Structures are given as structure tokens and as C-alpha cells.
Structure 1
Amino acid sequence: MGELTIGVLGSYGGRNLGDEAILTALLADLRDQQPHARLVVFSRNPAHTLAHHPNVEAVPWEGVSRVDSAAVLDRLDLLILGGGGILYDREARRYLRVVRVAQERGLPLLTYAVGVGPLTESVDCGMVRETLTGATEVTVRDEESRVVLEEAGLLTPITVTADPAFLLEPADFPIHLLREEGVRAGKRLVGMSVREPGRAAERLDVDAYHRLLAQVGDFLVHRIDADVVFVPMERDDIRHSHGVMSHMTAADRGRILHGDYSPSQVLGLMRHFDLAVGMRLHFLIFAAMANIPFLPLPYAGKVFDLAQRLGVPALKGVAREVEGPLLAEVDRLWDERDTRAESVSLRVAEVCEQARGTSRVTRAVLEGLRSRTLARVTA
């Protein structure tokens, strides 16, 4: 009696393993705090969400009318927005359309370690400022997000925590799964994450971008006698991994994972690697959590923020002129892997504690809501 019904809105539905890692950690946090709460996930693919989280209700939100959205929102006691990088130009307005309907109906809003930016278009800035001004609590996952919100004109207090994925528990990734993927036994393994170039390589065409990363792969093969395992975090990453491998002279030493793995399994996979080089934020977070030495190839401020928090060197983007420094940094990473791993391990413990800050903020909101709900029921 009097149990809460909580809605969760984010980029969920299986398109990106990082977003699914956030959802997994977020739901685990809510279950820990409110074991009997009813959880409703607004998903881009409700069938996927239900298959991976059978103890929730999953509903669509894209292309859904205000009337239909309101029918679901009317059943909620709280709407949680986030986490993940969802408040950016042209995308923010889509999520906040649902939030506006919720706030029009008096539903409290909490942002859960949300990622923000770039945010320059007036429509998105205005909607972010308007909706988050009315939020019960605003938590963001990094300093960059706080700065972007402040520059958008938000005056509401903002709490900086950390990405919810830092609270994810690893699942076992047995070695036979690597063998089934064609990864050989008896070799050092380097995990590699590549994605579309975007802002990471604005001055390179896709072919040149693939060639540059192929040189990193070849360097690792010859420098440390390693096989390179490409870990797709989105389906399109497979295409770019093939593009990189097609330019490697040692392409026979590369493998691309094609299995359908959960975020917890990919986190468990990391323990098999000796080194990690990558672009995807959550691939790098997983490497850090597994205490694997890693080199970020930044494509956005969120990756720079991670590198800064963990004290890890990071090159600013990918371009032809950074080929030498890039390979030198990979070489240095291998030579200094033991000392770096020790240093990063201490920083990761600090960031995990920061990630728990989101949970503490959420707990206070939920306890307040539950007290009011019980008071109504017993009145």
C-alpha cells in the first residue's frame, strides 16, 4: 500500500551499451532503495527493455501523442530524466517534450547524473532552462554539463556527481566466449573501441581516420605482440571497426566481437585485456573499473572530463599531425602500465563514491515522496 510508481526517461532500448549500462545501474539503485516500487521505463524499444529488465514496465515515448503520454504520466509519482548524454542540440527538445507534459500535470522531476551539451540552439536552451528550473533536484555527471547548464541560464542549484555506470557490477565473461569469437589463446590482448569520426577527426575523411587508427592497431601488434579485439558499443561501431581492420597490415591479428552482450558482460570482458585504447566513453569507464591501463581518444568533452578525473593523458582529437604523438603515447602507456594502473585505481574509487552521490540525492527525494504518499493513504 502506498508504494511509489517511478518513471525513467532516457536513451534506452538497446541502441548503445553505454546507455544500457546506465539504465542497469539506475534500476538497481532504485530497486535497492524502493524494493516494491513500480518502475516504468520510457524506451525507444520497449520489447528490448522488457527482455533485459523483465521486472519493469516499458512504454514507448517517441512519436507518442501528448494524450497518450499523459495517460502514462498520470500514474507516476516521480519522473527521472537520465542519465547519459541526452540534453544536447536538437535532441534535448525531444526528451523535454515528455518532461513538459509531466510538469504540466504537477509531476516532480529529478535528473539522474544527466549529461549535457553541446547546447547552443535557442529552442533547446530555452526548453532546458524552463524545465530544469522546475526540477526537484538537478544532478549532472560531470563539470562540463554543469557549465553548459549555467551558460544556458539555469539558476537552479546543480549537483555534480558521476556517471551511473561506475556503479555497475561486472558479470562473468568466460574465456570460451572469446574463443567462439575467434580470439586466440596465448596472446596478449588489447581492447579497442572506435566509433564514427564526428568531432574526434573533423579534419579527416573517414578513410584517413580509419588509416590512422589502423596504425595504432599495427603498432600494438608489433610493439607488444598483441592481438587487437574491437569492442562495438553500438552496432555502427562494427562498420568502423571493419574499416580500421581493412587498413591494418596485421589484420589477421584483429578480431571484431559480434555477440550480443550485456553491459555487465562487457565490463567482465575487460579483465581479459592487457591494455585498452578507445573512443567510446563507457568502454573507457569499463577499462578504468577493471583496472586496465587505457588511452582515451577523445571525441567530446565528456571523455576529456573522464581523463581529467582519472589523471589519464588524453590527446585532443585525431588528426594526421598527431600520428607521432599518438603512437608515442601508446608506447608510453605500455611502459608505464603498472604505475598508471595503481594511480587510476585510487581515482576510480573516488569517482565511484561521487557516483553514489546521485543515489543519496535520489534517496532523499524518494523518502519525501513516500512519506507524503503514506500520509495520503492513511489520512
Structure 2
Amino acid sequence: MKVVISGFYGLGNTGDEAILESILDNLRNEIDEVDITVFSFSPEKTAKRHNVRSVYRGWRRENKQKVQALKKADLLISGGGGLLQDTYPTKFLFGPLPYYLLIVFLAKLCGAKVMFFSQGIGPVNTTWGKILMKVFANMADFITVRDPFSKELLHKLGVNRPESVVTADIVFAFHQKEDSACLDSLPLKGGERLVAVSVRPWFGDTSYYGHIAQALDSLIESEGVTPVFVPMEGHYDVRASEKVRQQMKHRNQSLLLGPDFTPNQYLNFISACEMTIGLRLHCLIFSCLAGVPHIGISYDKKVESLLKRSGMWDYSFTLENLDPEKLADNAREVLRRQEELKEMIRENAAEMRSEAMKNIDLLKERFGQ
């Protein structure tokens, strides 16, 4: 079976790289003699790291190679992740939404089947974005989405021709391998109460940096924890983490991981923590996989949806309603109930792992040879 995978790969986003690794590992485990090409912004790096063929994903070059790959392909996998959205500026042919839908159109012209795979849909708010979705997303042969909100939004946008099935984010089927690189990089003495912290820039909203800083200071004073910032998207998250640390009274009692670790290395680090506080969706998914209690700060429906499925929504916040004192109080409660919450999270994560594997099962059922 010949497969092309299209997504936000080769740009250093840990969540998207975890998605790609999960897709590749599970395709290779479940489908004999699968032949894979990945569209990536760093094709040489992607090819070397994952032992796949890789083509530059942008329109500036290698368009002939894209067409050749799609002509040979039995299936285009579009996803997973939040590809189909217009949060970022969407022009006539530029922006994430037009790009991914034009790849779908190109695949259909080349005779390949198309599966939207474990996708989170939306938001799609612009008139042009809605038109693009209605015209091109209906060209897909089959769709799996990672949460019920995404399925509901597809129907609202008029994407009804392909069948859509709710599964779970494919990263819940991630294959963890032992690797202590993150822990080894930190100046730890042993016995620290590690708390993973994930922050990100969000359209100029910096008010929450101070709220998180205040809550972390309170936890350092009352619980003796060591916050460790986990930059899930390279220098963007490093800068956001530094801005939080600058507002902390006890910044010297916090640490910052480097930005170049692999998804598997970050997952192994989070597995060693007592708790996670964070915005990044896949940092919270890693926490679920590791059975680590987590408090999410939701800037998007996808984060809220995950937290409800993991069982941690009652401790969590929306970005606009983040209260530093309540965050610190909730974190103390989570630390106190840690063992009980771990058991609940592991049960919920096992269910979501089973649902994540449905993405592969349904692919085999619909497109297997």
C-alpha cells in the first residue's frame, strides 16, 4: 500500500511531530509492506529521522515531486492535528486551510483516495474558509475526527458527503521508548517534586503569564515543587516560558528544558513529574499517556474537549477565566489526590488509546488492499 501523509511536519512543533511518529509506527505495525512519503518543511530531516521518503511541502519547490508521489499513492492521509482552521490569516491561496485543502484537491486529480485522519476541525469563521471547506472537504473519501465538537462543526460547515467518525487523537497510540535525555540535561540533585509547565504565545495575550507565575510561586512556597518548563514548539515556547519566569519571585527555583528534544524524550520527562500545568494540547495528552495528573488552561475547544475526556476539566480553566489563587489551590488539591487521580487518568487514557487505534482500523477497513 502506497501512502502520502500531509500535515504540519518539519517545523519543530512537538505535537505535530508526535502525530507523525504515531501514524508511522502504527501503520508499520498494522499494514504489511506499507510505502510512505511525507510532505514536510524539512524533508531531509524527516526522511532521515523516520526512514521515509519526504518531499518539501510548500509550493515554492518540488511541486513535480508532489504530483508524482500522489499519482503513485493509493491514499493521502491528511492529518492528524488541527489542520483545517482559519485562526491564522487565510487569504485566497495562502494559510493553513487553503494549503491542506488544495493538497486534497491535487490528490483527487491524481487519482488517490483521501482520508482526513484524526483531525481536530476548526475554528472556521471566515466566509472564504467556509466556502473552501464546503467545496474541497467534501472531496474526501472518509473522515475521522478526534472529538465530537469537530464532527458537529463539519456538519455545520456542510461537509456531509464523506462519512465522519469520532475517534481520538492518534497520539494516544504513541509508542513510548525509554529515553532519559531530558532528565539528564537538568541540574537535579534527586528527590525534587517536578511539575511540568507548558506555556505558549497566544495572539499577543500576555496577561496569563503573570497569573501562572504567581501560582507557581505559591506552589514553590507551600509545596516545595520544582517547576520545569517544557517548550513544545521551539523558540516560540522558550520565549513564552522566559516571560513567565521573569515574573516569578522564585524563578531560580524553576528550570527550562531545551527546545530540541524529541516527542518521545518530552513524554519520558513528563512521566517523571508529579503534575502538569499547561496550555499545549499535546503536553496534556502526554500527561494522560503517562498517567500524570494535569491542570489545563484551555485557549481552544480542542483543549477543553481533551480535559473533559481525561477527567481533569473540574480542576482546569479557560484562558480568559484563569485565576492565580484558584490555580494554586487546585494544584495543591491535585497533588494531594495524586494517586487517586492517576488511576482515573490511566483508565480514561486506555479508553482513548483504543479509540485512537480505530483510526488505523478504519483506514485498513476502508482502504486496505
* TM-score normalised by length of structure 1: 0.89
2: CA distance between counterparts of 1:179 and 1:85? Answer: 32
**Offset, 1:182:** 2.3
1:277 is matched with which residue?
277
Q: Secondary structure at the match of 1:185?
A: coil
Q: Secondary structure at the match of 2:54?
A: strand
1:126 is matched with which residue?
131
**Offset, 1:186:** 2.2
1:165 is matched with which residue?
171
**Further displaced range: 101-110 or 292-301:** 101-110
1:140 is matched with which residue?
145
Q: Secondary structure at the match of 2:124?
A: coil
Unaligned runs of 5+ in 1: 371-379
Matched, 1:60 2:63: no
2:210 is matched with which residue?
211
Contact 2:101–2:136 (Cα < 8 Å) also in 1:
yes
**Offset, 1:136:** 1.9
Q: Deviation digits for residues 208-233 of structure 1, max 9, x if unmatched?
A: 33211111221221221111111110
Q: Secondary structure at the match of 1:15?
A: coil
Q: Deviation digits for residues 111-131 of structure 1, max 9, x if unmatched?
A: 111111101222222222223
Q: Deviation digits for residues 36-68 of structure 1, max 9, x if unmatched?
A: 2210001121122123212x1000121247655
Q: Secondary structure at the match of 1:139?
A: strand
2: CA distance between counterparts of 1:25 and 1:179? Answer: 25
Say which of 9, 12, 23 aligns to 2:9.
Answer: 12
Matched, 1:102 2:107: yes
2:93 is matched with which residue?
none
Q: Which amino acid aligns with 2:171?
A: A
Contact 1:85–1:117 (Cα < 8 Å) also in 2:
yes
* TM-score normalised by length of structure 2: 0.91
**Further displaced range: 263-272 or 310-319:** 310-319
Unaligned runs of 5+ in 2: 91-95
1:45 is matched with which residue?
42
Q: Deviation digits for residues 94-125 of structure 1, max 9, x if unmatched?
A: 11111111112332101111111101222222
Contact 1:197–1:209 (Cα < 8 Å) also in 2:
no
2: CA distance between counterparts of 1:314 and 1:81? Answer: 33
Pick closer, same or farther for the CA change 1:147–1:184 going to 2, 3 Å: farther
Pick closer, same or farther for the CA change 1:31–1:279 going to 2, 3 Å: same
1:267 is matched with which residue?
267
2: CA distance between counterparts of 1:328 and 1:130? Answer: 48
2:222 is matched with which residue?
223
2: CA distance between counterparts of 1:219 and 1:48? Answer: 42
Q: Deviation digits for residues 229-270 of structure 1, max 9, x if unmatched?
A: 111100110011111111111111111001522111211112
1:375 is matched with which residue?
none
2: CA distance between counterparts of 1:85 and 1:165? Answer: 13
**Offset, 1:305:** 0.3
Contact 2:182–2:257 (Cα < 8 Å) also in 1:
no
Note the aligned Cα RMSD (angstroms): 1.9
1: CA distance between counterparts of 2:362 and 2:322? Answer: 45
Say which of 108, 113, 119 aligns to 1:114.
Answer: 119
Q: Which amino acid aligns with 1:226?
A: V
2:157 is matched with which residue?
152
1: CA distance between counterparts of 2:216 and 2:349? Answer: 27
**Offset, 1:276:** 1.0
1: CA distance between counterparts of 2:223 and 2:328? Answer: 13
Q: Secondary structure at the match of 1:110?
A: strand
**Offset, 1:319:** 4.6
Q: Secondary structure at the match of 1:296?
A: strand
Pick closer, same or farther for the CA change 1:288–1:154 going to 2, 3 Å: same
2: CA distance between counterparts of 1:186 and 1:332? Answer: 21
2: CA distance between counterparts of 1:352 and 1:243? Answer: 35
**Offset, 1:299:** 1.1
Q: Secondary structure at the match of 1:329?
A: helix
Q: Deviation digits for residues 162-203 of structure 1, max 9, x if unmatched?
A: 0010011222233x75243223422111111011134xxx8x
1: CA distance between counterparts of 2:30 and 2:185? Answer: 39
Q: Which amino acid aligns with 1:359?
A: I
Contact 1:6–1:38 (Cα < 8 Å) also in 2:
yes
Q: Secondary structure at the match of 1:116?
A: coil
1: CA distance between counterparts of 2:318 and 2:189? Answer: 32
1: CA distance between counterparts of 2:233 and 2:108? Answer: 32
1: CA distance between counterparts of 2:322 and 2:40? Answer: 42
Matched ranges for 1:13-28 at <5 A: 13-28=10-25
Contact 2:182–2:266 (Cα < 8 Å) also in 1:
no
Say which of 77, 80, 84 aligns to 1:83.
Answer: 80
How many aligned positions are there? 357
2: CA distance between counterparts of 1:231 and 1:70? Answer: 38
Q: Secondary structure at the match of 2:149?
A: helix
**Offset, 1:321:** 6.7
2:365 is matched with which residue?
364
2: CA distance between counterparts of 1:170 and 1:6? Answer: 24
